[in-house]
Structure 1
Amino acid sequence: MIYGLYEAHLHVTNLERAAEFYEKVLGLKLGHHEEKRRANFYFFDENKNHMLGVWEIAPEQFRREHVAFHSTVEDIKRAAAFFDEHGIETRNFDNTGKTPLKVIAWMPAISIFFKDPDGHSLEMLAMLPDEPKPELGVVPWAEWEAMHGRELT
């Protein structure tokens, strides 16, 4: 019946500025541009399994939203340096800084947050192979790895 999320949509105040960010910084592939409706549609992969729609609206109609992108542990390890190179601030789950990365124990997953040019909260999230531990809440990733007999590399 339902196997995942195919698409999400965000409103932006400047389509060209958003295109620069989503295409040049995040590397998403433009699938379709509709000038009349002021919208771009981006694919995440060659198989077109996931899509993001970006729609320009008037600033007075705008409100900030949140989208989490599926990622890998390896990519999240590299994300802070990548975003630093592009002048984009990153934050950990509880907004205490870019490090330490945190584990959302009920999932469990690690993530890193950043913002697009309109201030939307964007997240790269990677599921971890461990059993959930909701009673722990949110814990530093190094602590989580130590509990599972692993060291961060």
Structure 2
Amino acid sequence: MMIKGLYEAHLPVSDLKASIAFYEKLELTLAHENERVAFLWIEKGKSWLGLWKVDINDFPYHPSTRHVAFQITTSSIEQIKAWLVEKGIGVHPMFGFSEEEQPLVLDNPPQFHAAIYFLDPDGNLLECIAPLELDTEEDYDIMTYEDWDRKKNPYID
């Protein structure tokens, strides 16, 4: 296969310095910066995020233009909320689920992913997501990861 992954994604931001500081808290590394754009490595040589200084009022939120999902390992899904909170980053309510109820298990059968949502300083929607089950025969509605875990491990309390 020629395509190996996603190399870059871009978001509009109103304050480049504040946004760089925010993404550095997420452990991204500044790769390039000038007065209008900054690029931060997610994984050096594999993927980066472009931040473009704009009048943010010209860019209303829509997931097709102001959303980035960062892949995390499935084993880290239970620690991700504490990791964000430790960095002073609050979880954002999504799909009718509160901050406390996250992470969530997304209902995109036959794939199921665990995800947690948060915002950057400009209200761009960010997500940390991990695959749970791919190409499964099962069909579930969206639920909390806690409910998913109980469903998958009914004898563990």
- Report the TM-score when normalising by structure 2: 0.80
More helix by proportion, 1 or 2? 1
- Asked if 2 retains the 8 angstrom alpha-carbon contact of 1:92 and 1:111, the reply is no
Aligned residue-pair number: 149
- Asked if 2 retains the 8 angstrom alpha-carbon contact of 1:13 and 1:62, the reply is no
Residue matched to 1:45: 43
* Alignment counterpart, residue 118 of structure 1, candidates 117, 122, 144: 122
C-alpha spacing 1:72/1:18, structure 2 compared with 1 (3 Å): same
| Mapping of residues 1-153 of structure 1, within 5 Å | 1-23=2-24, 25-35=25-35, 38-46=36-44, 48-64=45-61, 65-91=66-92, 93-98=94-99, 99-105=101-107, 106=109, 107-129=111-133, 131-132=135-136, 135-149=139-153
* Identical amino acids, percent of aligned pairs: 32
Q: Residue deviations 1:39-61, cap 9 Å, x none? A: 11111123x11111001012442
- Report the TM-score when normalising by structure 1: 0.82
C-alpha spacing 1:152/1:5, structure 2 compared with 1 (3 Å): farther
CA distance in 2, matches of 1:81, 1:61: 34
Instruction: Return 5+ residue gaps in structure 1 as ranges.
Output: none
CA distance in 1, matches of 2:155, 2:16: 43
Q: What is the aligned-residue RMSD (CA, Å)?
A: 2.4
